[in-house]
Structure 1
Amino acid sequence: MSARSKARKRALDVLYAADARGVDPSLVLGERLADREAVPLGDYAEELVRGYAEHHDRIDDLIAEHAEGWTLARMPAVDRSILRIATYELAYRVDVPPAVAVDEAVELAKSLSTDNSPRFVNGVLGDIALLASRLRRP
C-alpha cells in the first residue's frame, strides 16, 4: 500500500469520526494531532481533511448533484467520507490524476463498505471526474 493510500485511509478515519459525531472535521483533526498516543496522520492526510473542511459546501454539492437517487444523508457514512476525499482530490489537487483518485476511492469502498458501494462510488466519481479539468484550480 502506497504512502498516499495510507494517508487517504487515515483521512477517511478522521472524516468518518467527524461525521459520526456531527462536528467539523477540523475539530477531530485537531484532537487527533494533539493525541500523543495516536498514529501520526502525515502531511497528505492532514491536507485531505483540511481541504475538505475548507471546501465542504462545494464538495458536498458536487456529490449530491452526481449521486442520482441518493441524498448525502441516505448514503452510508463511510461512502460519504470516501466520496468527500476523492471529490476534493478531483476538484483541487492537480497533482493527483483523476483515474488515481477514482481508483483509490473504489478500493477503499471495496475494503470498508457494502458490496454495492464500489460500483456506486465509481459511478458518482466517474461523473465528477468528467468535470475535473473545469473544476481544478491551479
Structure 2
Amino acid sequence: MNHPARSKARSAARLAAVQALYQQHMEGTALARLLDEFHQHRLGRTIDDDDFDDAAYADAEVPFFDDVVRGVDARKDEIDALVGSKLAAGWNIARLDKTMLQVLRAGTYELIARVDVPAAVTINEYVDVAKAFFDDGQAKFVNGILDAVAKDAR
C-alpha cells in the first residue's frame, strides 16, 4: 500500500540526511551534536531555496533521518569499501565530489541495512536526491552505483 505522506516524509529525511552527512564530513561535527543541531534548527523547518522545490524539512521522518545518519556514521568503512568496489578503474572514494559521496553512502546504507525498503525505492529516492544537487548525468551515475550495490547487498 502506498503512503504518500510517509513517502514524502522519507524523501525529506533522505535529503536532510545527505546534508547532515556532508556537514559532518566537511566540519567533523560530532554525531550527537550533528543530530541535535538538525533536530533543533533544521528538521521541522521549510527550505527557502529555489533548488529544493517545496522540499521541506518540516515533513521529514525524524527516526528515519536518525537511522540513516547514525547508520552511515557507524558503518562508514564497510559502506566506502562497497561503493569503492563499484567505481570504475582508476577511481576511488577520495576522487568523488563530497556531496556525491554522501548521496552514495546514504543510499548504500539503506540498501544494506533497511531491507524493509525495496531496493528500487531506495535507488529511485537517491537518484532524486542527486538531482537536487547535480545534473542528470550524475543522477545516472548514482543509479548505476546503487544498482550495482543492490545486486550484491540483496
What range is the shorter-chain TM-score in? 0.7 to 0.9
Aligned CA distance change for structure 1 residues 26 and 84 (closer, same or farther; 3 Å): farther
Q: What is the identity percentage for the equivalent residue pairs of Structure 1 and Structure 2?
A: 35
Moved more, 81-90 or 21-30: 21-30
- Show CA shifts across 1:15-71 (max 9, x none): 0111111445454224433xx343346111011001111111101110111111421
1:48 aligns to 2:68 (yes or no):
yes
- 1:59 aligned onto 2:79: yes
Greater C-alpha radius of gyration: 2
Q: How does 1:1-12 map to 2 (within 5 A)?
A: 2-12=8-18
Structure 1 residue identity aligned to 2:88: E
Which residue of structure 2 lines up, in the alignment, with residue 14 of structure 1? Answer: 20
Query: Cα RMSD between the aligned structures?
Result: 1.8
CA separation of 1:28 and 1:37: change in aligned 2, threshold 3 A: closer
Structure 2 equivalent of residue 89 of structure 1: 110
Distance change >3 Å, CA 26–CA 117, structure 1 → 2? farther
Amino acid across the alignment from 2:114: R
The one-letter amino acid paired with 1:62 is L
One-letter amino acid matched to 2:116: D
Count of residue correspondences:
131
Match of 1:125 among 124, 139, 146: 146
Unaligned 5+ segments in structure 1 are 134-138
Q: In structure 2, do the counterparts of structure 1 residues 87 and 26 end up closer, same or farther at CA, with 3 Å as the change threshold? A: farther
